[in-house]
Structure 1
């Protein structure tokens, strides 16, 4: 004991303890400052990681130096050679005290700036950007009609429509209705004023395409839907080589006609130019990719995209399309999980090689980190970069909402999904997502309304009747839930809901039978849902057992474990925090981003 005390006293005498504390304090401050600068300046992740490892490696060497060496008025000398009369260890100790106090004050200042200025500013910017977009000039781009003699250029007309939609959606203070809603009016006999009311927009851009060989005639017109008045129209007779110029001219003319007040100094967006043949193949790929429920058409879309890239290997839109399709194929079983997400990652990274500031590529990589790698911290950082680069892109907004649900940020997800619905008011997928977000937020009446809207738009949409049933059960309406689940076509979803409904109706024997059948038939595919049902029954032991099974199976349902209301009764159990840590959720997961 005496020897231990002697060693401890020697550590204090040589100021090793104070040196260690000062090193940790200074190192923490440096790491925090670099992290903040990384968020502001969009610095690569390797910079902050490299600094951390460098400081970690340097720590034992610094302590060793503190033990061996001492500062003296004549320089650094070995402690063993410094006489007691020449030593200024006490003065050095006081200086270290001052350094520690000073840096602790700086740390406090940085924490205050981070929490009350930077974080609040981010939240303010996110909210204000949505408010700005909500109050912006509203426009819809209707599908251009194919007036070609053979009527065989629908893919080209549709592609041109999408390209114009994408260009206009990048214009500040212009709110553009998304593709799904506008294309629901393809070949519609409705009047422009009626379409505008359904889409809740003030202006409509429509047109036609006549293509013959390499010759194009494109007509476009802008209509003030409220007053049923034509504001601008133009006809372009060009060759296919000029398609990108035409797109740019149309978008510029629309902005000018609407007299939009651009709120920044950024130039108007321009089309991504490529070889005309590559562009034609790309438009065919887009056309096929919209049939996401048909695996064969997705395979055809991949083929067209690859042909386009064989002509122009640096054509970014084709690489982005491939990244999106590969993820879809991984999720629908056309490709294995590993193969699909591996190819999607390569495609997105290829985009960043060509175009380092491409927002969608960052958003796709964030979604891959979320769904495939379960690296929630990295997903959050990549998504933040995507938002900074293009915070108005509807696809990025939707992916951000998905990430927010995964991180337990329900209010943020709700705000984003409601904004997505305003951009795409006739898209059943949006209402499908809204059902889940309202359910997690315990806004059950609104969840019911969103479910009914989704069913109205797409009665056979996968799992919508299942989610509608869950909401009714959460509202303590088991008899209505029992009726609603009958419309669900998927057997696995039906079995889970029957098990839960009959448990709620106190018919335990029936409930057990359905749950046992669910386990027998769908143990591999629905481990997460089985855990939900046990938690619903307040069977904590089995709930955690099946959560662990879901984790081993990499069940993607676990992405929403933080937000799922059925698991809230587990939150006070010590095993819950251990499970969340095992999943890899960041400590700030439940904080507003």
Structure 2
């Protein structure tokens, strides 16, 4: 005990303890400042990590130095060589006390600034990221099979599948794979364990529908696919007007079978009920809407949804469907851009009249404010409401990621799209958006891999090979970029990338020829892309000229102008800040 006390006293005598405390306080302050600067200036995470490891490695060296050496009026000397009469350890100790107190005060000030000034300011453009770890159970709802005599009720079987999927999505402990991925296995010969592996889920809900007139027979079974074990199955013989009760029964049975711990404050979700005939028309409208590239099918979807609403004008799913279809028609030319988005907003506002707490309606309205009105502040506000009402909905998460990218919050966009991809692993649209987020975040290797996944899932997807070529160009892989753009069918995209590639190769004459053809053919349609290419050339005059043109024609590409890497060369220009302010983006500090 005496020896231990003696060593402790020696540590105190040599100011090792006070030195350690002062080191920890100063180190914490430096790390905190590094983190704050990282948030404000969007510095790479490796800078603060490197500082942490450096301080950690230096700590024992500092302690050893404090033991071996001490400060004297004539400089740093070994402790063993300093006589007691010449030692100023007590003065040094008092100075260390003052240092500790002073830096503790500074730490307190930094904490206050962080809490009440910086955190509030940074959080304005941050988005809550759902936690994957919070989902203890993972499930996929496979398309129910149509066993009707004439096999003419696939729309009804698909509708039941989507209804169950939507209900289960609202159960917080569950992570539910989205529709696009599960429906890719419709009529598949793959065994359930293989499907579960591809979807990265443990449980699968599958079943069948047999419909005859107004009578239904629905069979459902829940399977632990990884262990090839049936957990629950049931057959329901009901009339068509009992379909909503069946949906609720099946979803409740799944929850019970999985032994989920639900919050008592959040009861199990219930189906939205309507007239059976209205429901039938709605399901047919949903099926038609899935052919998004077929303009005639979209017109059919609108007509069927309107018929459903003529029977039940308060049926929310039909209004939500109309909103999405109108927006698609506004973008694809079936309706004018203004007419399409006006009708979409009217349909969404109708939903909020019926149900002021409908999360999807707020998310759709936020998306319309973003794309059509460029009202970014309002879009952010509406999206926050949607997330608070339902932060686990995959569609809301995807729309939140789109908004995050528009506001220049690339890190949040990446994390949100990664989460979205985990919910919908076989959806090419999800991977397409994730590829773009990686590109904007300079995670080019990940962008390439995601592009390859997207090409594998949907090789003929519009503009996919264009974006793939652009990523390769950003990596300076010019030959690969030229090869990739050969597969792009759209002439406008092809002209732009060819111009950029040849500019990078130094063949200015060929680059200019492609650029002039692009301008002559697609002045209004691709004003934003033309501005991109001039920024890529570091031709600021023409870049700003075409950005102004893009603004006049309301080019929706401008939604991503803050995140687009090619425009970084313009960020230091005064005209950039004026343009961003004119667009209505949140104010950017100069």
Shorter-chain TM-score: which interval?
0.7 to 0.9
Deviation at 1:109, TM superposition (A): 12
Deviations 1:11-33 (A, max 9, x none): xxxxxxxxxxxxxxxxxxxxxxx
Partner of 2:481: 481
Instruction: State the TM-score, normalizing by the size of structure 2.
Output: 0.79
Deviations 1:319-343 (A, max 9, x none): 0000010000000010001110010
- Structure 1 CA distance, aligned partners of 2:117 and 2:379? 21
- Structure 2 CA distance, aligned partners of 1:435 and 1:140? 24
Q: Give SS of 1:487's match.
A: coil
Deviation at 1:118, TM superposition (A): 6.5
Partner of 2:523: 523
Deviations 1:282-326 (A, max 9, x none): 100111110001010011011110000000000000000000100
Partner of 1:312: 312
Deviations 1:178-204 (A, max 9, x none): 000000000111100000000000000
Superposed, 1:140-219 pairs within 5 Å as 140-219=140-219
Are 1:131 and 2:108 counterparts?
A: no
Partner of 1:249: 249
Change (3 A) 1:526 1:264: farther
Are 1:414 and 2:404 counterparts?
A: no
Are 1:374 and 2:374 counterparts?
A: yes
Partner of 2:493: 493
- Structure 2 CA distance, aligned partners of 1:419 and 1:560? 20
Partner of 2:551: 551
Q: Give SS of 1:175's match.
A: strand
Deviations 1:6-64 (A, max 9, x none): xxxxxxxxxxxxxxxxxxxxxxxxxxxxxxxxxxxxxxxxxxxxxxxxxxxxxxxxxxx
Partner of 1:468: 468
Question: Is the 8 Å Cα contact of residues 323 and 345 (structure 1) preserved in structure 2?
Answer: yes
Change (3 A) 1:121 1:515: closer
List runs of 5+ in structure 1 lacking aligned partners: 1-107
- Structure 2 CA distance, aligned partners of 1:171 and 1:118? 31
Instruction: State the TM-score, normalizing by the size of structure 1.
Output: 0.79
Question: Is the 8 Å Cα contact of residues 407 and 589 (structure 1) preserved in structure 2?
Answer: no
Superposed, 1:333-344 pairs within 5 Å as 333-344=333-344
Partner of 1:540: 540
List runs of 5+ in structure 2 lacking aligned partners: 1-109
Partner of 2:364: 364
Change (3 A) 1:560 1:476: same
- Structure 2 CA distance, aligned partners of 1:290 and 1:523? 32
Deviation at 1:124, TM superposition (A): 10
Q: RMSD of the alignment, in Å?
A: 1.9
- Structure 1 CA distance, aligned partners of 2:124 and 2:575? 33
Partner of 1:27: none
Change (3 A) 1:121 1:253: farther
State the number of aligned residues: 481
Partner of 1:301: 301
Q: Give SS of 2:131's match.
A: helix
- Structure 2 CA distance, aligned partners of 1:279 and 1:571? 52
Are 1:405 and 2:415 counterparts?
A: no
Deviation at 1:434, TM superposition (A): 1.1
- Structure 1 CA distance, aligned partners of 2:417 and 2:131? 11
Deviation at 1:114, TM superposition (A): 4.8
Question: Is the 8 Å Cα contact of residues 215 and 239 (structure 1) preserved in structure 2?
Answer: yes
- Structure 2 CA distance, aligned partners of 1:120 and 1:474? 29
Deviation at 1:177, TM superposition (A): 0.2
Deviation at 1:116, TM superposition (A): 6.6
Question: Is the 8 Å Cα contact of residues 207 and 219 (structure 1) preserved in structure 2?
Answer: yes
Q: Give SS of 1:189's match.
A: coil
Question: Is the 8 Å Cα contact of residues 142 and 161 (structure 1) preserved in structure 2?
Answer: yes
- Structure 2 CA distance, aligned partners of 1:567 and 1:555? 16
Partner of 2:579: 579
- Structure 1 CA distance, aligned partners of 2:519 and 2:477? 25
